[in-house]
Amino acid sequence: MLGGKALSSGSEKRSGLSEMKKKQGPPAQFITTQFNSILGWARKYSLFQYPFITACCGMEYMSAACAHFDLDRFGAGWTRFSPRQADMLLVVGTVTQKLAPVLRTVYEQMTDPKWVVAFGTCTVSGGIYDNYAVVQGIDLVIPVDVYIPGCPPRPETVLDGLLKLQEKIQHQEQEWRWKKRKP
Amino acid sequence: MFLAFAVFGLLGLMLIFMNKFLGPSRPNPTKDKPFECGSPYLRDEINPFPIKFYLVAFIFLLFDIEVVFFFPWALIFKEMLASALIVMLAYLFVLVVGFIYAWRKGAFEWE
Amino acid sequence: MTRIQKEARPDTMLLNMGPSHPAMHGTIRIMLELDGERILNSEVEVGYLHRGFEKTCENRTYFNLLIYTDRLNYVSPLINNLGYAMTIEKMLGVEVPERAQYIRVIMSELSRISDHLTCLAAMAMESGAFTVFLYKMKAREFIWDVIEQTTGARMTTSYIRIGGVRADLHADFDTVLKTAIVETRKVLKDIHGLLDKNKIFLNRTRDIAVMTPEDALAFGWTGPCLRSTGVYYDVRKAHPYLTYDRLNFEVPLGERGDNFDRYMVRMKEMDQSLRIIEQAAQRLQKTPAGVLAQAFEPAEAIKASRLKRIKGGVNLSPNLEGSERDKYPGILSADKSYVIPPKDDTYTTMEGLISHFKFFMKGNGIRPPRGEVYFSVEGGNGELGYYIVSDGSDRPFRLHLRAPCFHIVAALEQLIRGRYVADVIPTFGSMNMIGGELDR
Amino acid sequence: MEEKKTLDLLKQTFPAVVKEASTNLGDDVVIIDREGLLGLANFLINKPHEYTMLLDLTCVDFLGQKPRFEMVYHLFSLPQNKRLRIKARLEENDLRIASLTSLWKNADWLEREVFDMFGVNFEGHPDLRRIFMYDCFEGHPLRKDYPLRKRQPCIKFRE
Q: Render C35-53 in DSSP notation, one character per residue.
A: ETTEEEEEEEE--TT---H
Name the band, by pLDDT with cuts 50, 70 and 90, for residue A16.
low
Instruction: Write out chain A residues lying below 8 Å of B26, CB-based.
Output: 112
D152 and chain A: CB distance < 8 Å anywhere?
yes
Q: Do residues C85 and C160 lie in contact, with contact meaning Cβ atoms separated by under 8 Å?
A: yes
Of D45, D81, D132, which to mutate for an interface test with C (greatest number of C Cβ within 10 Å)?
D132
pLDDT, tens digit (0-9, with 9 covering 90-100), for D113-156: 999 999 999 999 998 999 999 988 999 999 999 999 999 988 88
Give 10-residue mean pLDDT values along chain C (440 residues). Answer: 86 88 88 90 92 92 90 92 92 87 93 94 91 93 91 88 84 89 95 93 92 92 93 92 91 92 94 94 70 52 67 63 70 78 79 85 84 92 93 91 93 92 92 90
Residue C215 and residue C331 in one domain: no
* D69 backbone dihedrals φ, ψ, rounded to 5°: -95, 155
Residue A68 and residue A155 in one domain: yes
Among A112, A51, A48, A52, residue whose Cα is nearest residue A75 = A48
Name the band, by pLDDT with cuts 50, 70 and 90, for residue A153.
very high
Contact partners for chain C, using 3 or more CB pairs closer than 8 A, are: A, B, D
- Do residue A97 and residue D153 have CB atoms under 8 angstroms apart? yes
**Beta strands at A115-119 and A146-148: parallel, antiparallel or unpaired:** parallel
What residues in chain A have their Cβ under 8 A from chain B's Cβ atoms? 39, 82-84, 101-103, 105-106, 108-109, 111-113, 175-179
How many domains, chain C?
2
**DSSP secondary structure code for residue C82 in this structure:** H
Burial of C380 (0-12, 13-18, 19+ CB in 10 A): buried
Q: What is the pLDDT of residue C162?
A: 86
Residue C170 and residue C127 in one domain: yes
Select from 3.10.200.10, 3.30.360.10, 3.30.460.80, 3.30.70.360 the CATH code of D2-98.
3.30.460.80
Residue C183 and residue C332 in one domain: no
Q: What is the pLDDT of residue C216?
A: 92
Q: What is the pLDDT of residue A8?
A: 64
CATH number for position A55: 3.40.50.12280
Q: What is the pLDDT of residue C291?
A: 43
**DSSP secondary structure code for residue C95 in this structure:** P
Cα distance between residue D30 and residue D85, in whole Å: 6
Statement: residue D23 has pLDDT above 90: no
Residue C110 and residue C217 in one domain: yes
Which residue on chain B is closest to C10 by alpha carbon?
B48
Residue A35 and residue A65 in one domain: no
Name the band, by pLDDT with cuts 50, 70 and 90, for residue A101.
very high
Residue A37 and residue A102 in one domain: no
Which residue on chain A is closest to C54 by alpha carbon?
A131
- Do residue B36 and residue C11 have CB atoms under 8 angstroms apart? no
Q: How far is CA C377 from the centre of its chain?
A: 10
Residue finishing a domain among C344, C360, C376: C360
- The residue length of chain A stands at 183
| AA identity, residue B85 | L
How many domains, chain A?
2
Q: Which of A151-160, B40-49, C113-122 has the lowest mean pLDDT?
A: B40-49
Residue C128 and residue C103 in one domain: yes
Instruction: Write out chain B residues lying below 8 Å of C17, CB-based.
Output: 37
Burial of C17 (0-12, 13-18, 19+ CB in 10 A): buried
Residue C164 and residue C303 in one domain: no
Domain that holds residue C333: 298-360
Q: What is the ipTM of this complex?
A: 0.88
- Smallest CA–CA separation between B35 and chain C, in Å? 10
Q: Do residues C156 and C148 lie in contact, with contact meaning Cβ atoms separated by under 8 Å?
A: no
Residue A37 and residue A63 in one domain: no
Residue C276 and residue C195 in one domain: yes
pLDDT, tens digit (0-9, with 9 covering 90-100), for A73-88: 888 888 888 998 898 9
Among C235, C211, C266, C25, residue whose Cα is nearest residue D105 = C211
What residues in chain C have their Cβ under 8 A from chain B's Cβ atoms? 2, 4-5, 8, 10-21, 24, 29, 31, 35-36
Statement: residue D158 has pLDDT above 70: yes
Among D133, D141, D113, residue whose Cα is nearest residue C56 = D141
C369: left (phi over 0), alpha (psi -120 to 50) or beta: beta
Q: In this structure, is residue C30 part of a structural domain?
A: no
Residue A129 and residue A82 in one domain: yes
A111 and chain D: CB distance < 8 Å anywhere?
no
Residue C137 and residue C215 in one domain: yes
* B41 backbone dihedrals φ, ψ, rounded to 5°: -75, 145
Cα distance between residue C56 and residue C71, in whole Å: 13
C298 and chain D: CB distance < 8 Å anywhere?
no
Chain B meets chain A (3+ C-beta pairs below 8 A)? yes
Cα distance between residue C41 and residue C19, in whole Å: 18
Q: In this structure, is residue A27 part of a structural domain?
A: yes
CATH number for position C67: 1.10.645.10
Burial letters for A119-144: b for 16+ Cβ neighbours within 10 Å, e otherwise? bbbbbbebbbbebbbbbbbbbbbbeb
Q: What is the pLDDT of residue C318?
A: 62
Instruction: Write out chain C residues lying below 8 Å of B42, CB-based.
Output: 2, 4-5, 8, 14-16, 31
Contact partners for chain D, using 3 or more CB pairs closer than 8 A, are: A, C
Give C3-7's long-range contacts (Cβ < 8 A, gap of 24+). C3/C43, C3/D127, C3/D129, C4/B42, C4/C31, C4/C33, C4/C41, C4/C42, C4/C43, C5/B42, C7/C33, C7/C41
- Numbers of helices and strands, H then E, in chain B: 4, 0
Name the band, by pLDDT with cuts 50, 70 and 90, for residue A11.
very low
Q: In this structure, is residue C268 part of a structural domain?
A: yes
Residue C92 and residue C233 in one domain: yes
Nearest 10 degrees: CA dihedral of C292, C297, C298, C303?
A: -130
Among C330, C50, C394, C298, residue whose Cα is nearest residue C165 = C330
pTM for this predicted structure: 0.89
Strand order in the sheet with A88-92: A7-8, A146-148, A115-119, A88-92, A49-53
Q: Do residues C72 and C53 lie in contact, with contact meaning Cβ atoms separated by under 8 Å?
A: yes
Residue A68 and residue A120 in one domain: yes
Q: In this structure, is residue C40 part of a structural domain?
A: no
Residue A25 and residue A71 in one domain: no
* D140 backbone dihedrals φ, ψ, rounded to 5°: -120, 110
- Do residue C155 and residue A152 have CB atoms under 8 angstroms apart? yes
CA-to-CA separations, A16 to A28, A88, A180, B50, in angstroms, rounded:
17, 20, 15, 54
Q: What is the mean pLDDT of residues D68-80?
A: 91
Nearest 10 degrees: CA dihedral of C22, C28, C33, C36?
A: -10
Residue C205 and residue C352 in one domain: no
Cα distance between residue C269 and residue A78, in whole Å: 33
Residue A78 and residue A94 in one domain: yes
CA-to-CA separations, C136 to C124, C142, C431, in angstroms, rounded:
10, 10, 18
Q: In this structure, is residue C259 part of a structural domain?
A: yes
Residue A135 and residue A115 in one domain: yes
Number of CB atoms found within 10 A of residue C345's CB: 19
- Smallest CA–CA separation between D92 and chain C, in Å? 18
Q: In this structure, is residue C29 part of a structural domain?
A: no
Q: Which of A116-120, B79-83, D149-153 has the lowest mean pLDDT?
A: B79-83
Chain D meets chain B (3+ C-beta pairs below 8 A)? no
Percent of chain D with pLDDT over 70: 97
What residues in chain D have their Cβ under 8 A from chain C's Cβ atoms? 24-25, 27, 52-56, 58, 60-61, 72, 74, 78, 81, 83, 85, 104-106, 108-110, 113, 117, 127, 129-134, 141-142, 144, 146, 148
- Do residue B47 and residue C20 have CB atoms under 8 angstroms apart? no
Residue finishing a domain among C310, C325, C360: C360
Domain that holds residue A39: 12-44
Contact residues for C214 (Cβ-Cβ < 8 A; gap 6+): none
Residue C279 and residue C352 in one domain: no
Please state whether the peptide bond connecting residue A26 to the residue before it is cis, i.e. omega within 30 degrees of 0.
no
Nearest 10 degrees: CA dihedral of B59, B65, B67, B72?
A: 180
**Ranges of each domain in chain D:** 2-98
Percent of chain A with pLDDT over 70: 85
**Beta strands at C38-45 and C29-35: parallel, antiparallel or unpaired:** antiparallel
A177 and chain C: CB distance < 8 Å anywhere?
no
Statement: residue D104 has pLDDT above 70: yes
Among C255, C24, C322, C267, residue whose Cα is nearest residue C132 = C267
Q: What is the pLDDT of residue D66?
A: 86
**DSSP secondary structure code for residue A96 in this structure:** B
Q: In this structure, is residue A64 part of a structural domain?
A: yes
Residue in C2, C12, C21 closest to B37 by CB: C21
Name the band, by pLDDT with cuts 50, 70 and 90, for residue D24.
confident
Residue C77 and residue C120 in one domain: yes
Cα distance between residue D102 and residue C111, in whole Å: 37
Helix axes A26-44, A15-23, angle to 10 degrees: 150
Residue A39 and residue A51 in one domain: no
Residue A134 and residue A60 in one domain: yes
